[in-house]
Copies of this chain bind each other. A is one copy, B any other.
Amino acid sequence: LPPGSRLPSSRLLARELGVSRNTVLSAFDILASEGYTEAEIGSATRVSSILPETLQIPEYSDRLPTSAPATPCLSRLVQTRKRPSMGYADDIIPFHVSAPDLSHFPFDVWSRLLNRFWRNPPRDLLVNGDSAGYRPLRQAIAGYLRTFRSVECNENQVIITTGAQQALILAAQVLLNPGDRVWLENPGYPGLQHAITATGAIGAPVELDDEGISIEHGITIAPDARAAAVTPSHHYPTGVTMSLPRRLALLDWAASTRSWIIEDDYDSEFRYGSRPLSALQGLDRHGRVIYAGTFSKVMFPALRVGYLVVPSNVVDAFLTLRRAVDDHPPIAVQPALATFIDGGHFASHVRRMRGLYAERRESLIASLDSHFSGLLRPVASEAGMHICALLDPGYATGTEDGSVDKKMAAVARQNGINVTALSEFYLTEPARHGLMLGFAGFPPEILDCAARKLARILATT
């Protein structure tokens, strides 16, 4: 049938071809959905005047089947790179370290805000994306950080990223050259380590004490370090909070050596009891701190919205690389998230979760106390979504290869308990052994039941 010609009626065609009318109508639907026909309301269906792409079967379609080489030639970068592990299994069962409780998330508010934007979005926001992110969201984040984290910034210093990992990678790319040495907390967060080493920089594993990263040790092993990457609010994985004197000492080191500090403030929202210290960024008087945060912990990880706060004199450099990497963040949830924060929904969700998680944390500590009789002792910490519990040293030294906690974690997983070994997070031979126990995603009775089961498992291995 030539373009523009009218299709025969389905009734007529069914009779002619000797098939049912439904068969003809199905065929018509397929033709219409693939663009071969077009119909105007109140008018007949016609063959489209502009035909869609049709499959051109090239004469080479009968060539040999795919003969890809067994060892494709890839970059050194990917060849030398293991698939990064965050050190924990993904199953959302106790004690998954970072699963939030989603049963209290206000999905009704969230979907209403999304819907409000998407019903009739301003057209210019859909075409020209801002590399730094949607300005009202940056304003909302800057306001939130000024109020709750003592971060000194305005929205021009905020850069929205596709999750915290992109924020850390971007910081590393802007600040570091291959071969540069960088202080890393040991043990420490694998995502931060990956971001640093992906640029070709070399991590220097620095010891921690109960005030945080040891400046002395850092200066001893890497006096020429170009940067330090730290988690001062709540050290990952042990939960230690960096003390104020240590914060000031780290800032002094950075100012005097003109080094950078990458501050990963990944779960600062969840503090129980004590007042938090100001972020390093808020204490910095020399523009040395790059501050990274995320919405994954308070909202949910698959949101993939993180941010950087950078000194004003390097904003342009960050945006230059940001544009080269993925141009700008998706508009998708940005307007809804801005309203979610501005309307107070974010703060009240944090508040509600903080109360809930505080209870769960207390309950887990009590469970450990009653089921483990001293074998597992929580590291002193007042924050976060997990507890780091150390193994009794007497227990730990009894084994051959020093990875007793990894063995325990493996056995626990076989028995349906998701725990993570502290020794996974060491860049060197582990100095301490323990288990990371996430509590945020699970109610007290489930936590207690899992703790009891874990104690039984560990007692029999």
Contacts and interface: CB of A to CB of B under 8 A. Distances in A.
A358 B50 CA distance: 8
Interface in A271-327: 271-273, 275-278, 282-288, 300-305, 311-314, 316-317, 319-321, 323-327
Main secondary structure of the interface of A (DSSP, over half): loop
Given A53-B149, A75-B173, A285 B64 contact: yes
A52 interface: yes
Interface stretch (A7-15, A208-216, A330-338, A370-378): A330-338
A84 B316 CA distance: 12
Q: Point out which of A162, A275, A286 has the most chain B C-beta atoms below 10 A from its C-beta.
A: A162
B313 A351 contact: no
A323 to B, nearest CB: 6
Given A53-B271, A90-B128, A324-B198, A175 B285 contact: no
B68 A129 contact: no
Contacts of A54: 275
A78 interface: yes
Interface in A111-135: 111, 114-115, 118-121, 123-129
A168 to B, nearest CB: 10
Interface in A317-373: 317, 319-321, 323-333, 344, 347-348, 350-351, 354-355, 358
B75 A278 contact: no
Interface string A35-47: 1001000000000
A74 interface: yes
B70 A313 contact: yes
A412 to B, nearest CB: 19
A347 B114 CA distance: 24
Nearest to A198: B324
Interface stretch (A19-27, A55-63, A390-398, A419-427): A55-63
A304 B133 CA distance: 12
A363 B157 CA distance: 45
Interface of A: 33-35, 38, 48-58, 60, 63-70, 72-78, 81-84, 90, 92, 99-100, 102, 107-108, 110-111, 114-115, 118-121, 123-129, 147-150, 161-163, 165-166, 169, 173-177, 194, 198-199, 226, 244, 248, 258, 268, 271-273, 275-278, 282-288, 300-305, 311-314, 316-317, 319-321, 323-333, 344, 347-348, 350-351, 354-355, 358
18 contacts: A48-B351, A52-B351, A52-B354, A53-B148, A53-B149, A66-B285, A66-B286, A68-B311, A69-B258, A74-B175, A76-B177, A78-B174, A100-B127, A111-B114, A128-B301, A303-B331, A304-B326, A304-B331
